Amino acid sequence: MHADTDIPATADTHSYARFPLPGMKTVPEYYGTDAWEILLGGAWAALVSQTASNKEAREAFHRDTKLSLDALIKRSAIDALIDKATGHEQSVIAAFADWVTVNIWGVSGQHEPTTTEAAK
């Protein structure tokens, strides 16, 4: 099996949608297994990380999804443990990665972001 998938190791991975984070619903453009795609995967991860540090982007994510990265950052230790145990933390992170992918990076099979937010 390929890591983090149910795809047999002998399968052609280019014929399957593979998600970089558990819980994601989108596949970033160029996400794959060859050297160029792996390099771009690192660029995508850096983009998600950098976008998370941008206040305006976090506010737009909250406005669009009603989810908050800031709430994950500004929480008590017990709330952090509860969020992690219930999967809430991972679901918000995956939703943010999806949001960045759709609105900034681009979705696999398309060459431009797909939402009106990206056009602004």
What per-residue confidence (pLDDT) applies to 19?
57
Taking the C-alpha atoms of residue 14 and residue 67, their distance in angstroms, rounded to an integer, is 32
Taking the C-alpha atoms of residue 28 and residue 44, their distance in angstroms, rounded to an integer, is 8
Give the start-to-end residue ranges of the domains of the chain: 30-119
Instruction: Give tens-digit pLDDT for 49-86.
Output: 999 999 999 999 999 999 999 888 888 889 889 988 99
What per-residue confidence (pLDDT) applies to 51?
94
Taking the C-alpha atoms of residue 21 and residue 98, their distance in angstroms, rounded to an integer, is 9
The upper half-sphere exposure of residue 86, i.e. CA atoms within 13 Å in the direction of its Cβ, equals 9
What per-residue confidence (pLDDT) applies to 80?
87
> Model confidence at 47, in pLDDT bands (50, 70, 90)?
very high
Continuous H helices in the chain: 35-52, 55-65, 69-73, 77-86, 88-100, 116-119
Please give the C-alpha separations between residue 75 and each of 12, 60, 79, 86, 119, in angstroms, as whole numbers: 43, 20, 6, 15, 33
**Full-model pTM:** 0.66
Taking the C-alpha atoms of residue 23 and residue 101, their distance in angstroms, rounded to an integer, is 13
Please list the residues that pair with 28 across neighbouring strands.
Answer: 107
What per-residue confidence (pLDDT) applies to 31?
59
